[in-house]
A and B are shown apart, each in its own frame.
Chain A
């Protein structure tokens, strides 16, 4: 086999590997989203109080930081990602119970759900078809996340409604950027672990949904 054949074979192998990671990521993402929705329904049926949201999110965050990176290369990682997304879904149910009690609650939840789906599908489609590498956004996105987290920290004690809305709007834009960044990293072979890829995309979808709920709730006059 000459050098050209070798590089062609390697390139085909790399494309096949990338397609496999992409397919596995979307399959696991679909399964975790369905599992999350089931856990949210369970939480709503149990009428969980709002503080369950914070406890679930912090629990999921601890698992995501300390446990998932150590188990992502083994089959245990699948169990951990379902545990994380299940916890987040359970916490989400507590928030949805509050929104459902509002006069326009079901409409707000439905609009946020549909809007999140359209944003995710639109951005994923754009990243997949444009074939651009959005990895250059990494520094900007992580810097943006740190600024948003500092704003969240400040607003925990200042309680400014306008800042809270600005944070939600900022999160929607940052998470949209993360969808482009994560998807292009899968396509370019920068992310080869489908469990970690799923975790990144799941977090982006979850945060967009929560932030859209907040914005729609506030501007509908119900929040």
Chain B
């Protein structure tokens, strides 16, 4: 239904509009990553990717 798409699009645009100040704040004032910080994030996220692949294989 077209009105559903328009309603969803309005919702997404509203979210983008209200998320912009948070993005600006964190990109300008947020703390910068130190050595080893990104590695500490990539490892659990890689585990999540592997876990989701495992779940997909379980339901196939």
Residues 87-119 of chain A, each 1 if its beta carbon lies under 8 Å from chain B, else 0: 000000000000000001001100110010011
Kindly list chain A residues whose C-beta atoms are within 8 Å of the C-beta of B60.
Answer: 219-221
Binding site for A on B (CB under 8 A): 1, 4-5, 7-16, 18-20, 22-23, 25-27, 30-34, 37, 40-41, 44-45, 47-49, 51-52, 55-56, 58-60
Instruction: Pick out which of these stretches binds chain B: A7-15, A23-31, A50-58.
Output: A50-58
Name the residue of chain B whose CB is nearest to the CB of A107: B59
Query: Are A54 and B4 also in contact (CB < 8 A) when A115-B55, A137-B41, A139-B26 are?
Result: yes
Q: Which residues of B contact A152 (CB under 8 A)?
A: 12
B7-A58 in contact (CB<8A): yes
Which residue of chain A has its CB nearest to the CB of B36? A132
With A115-B51, A123-B44, A176-B45 known to touch, is A139 a contact of B30 (CB < 8 Å)? yes
In the assembled complex, which residues on chain A have CB atoms less than 8 Å from the CB atom of B13?
153
Select from chain A the residue with minimum beta-carbon distance to B44. Answer: A126
Task: Evaluate whether A180 and B9 lie within 8 angstroms (CB atoms) in the complex, with A115-B55, A142-B26 already known.
Answer: no
Give the docked Cα–Cα distance between A205 and B50 (Å): 18
Pick the contact of B18: A65, A122, A123, A139 (CB < 8 A): A65
User: A141: which B residues are within 8 A, CB to CB?
Assistant: 26
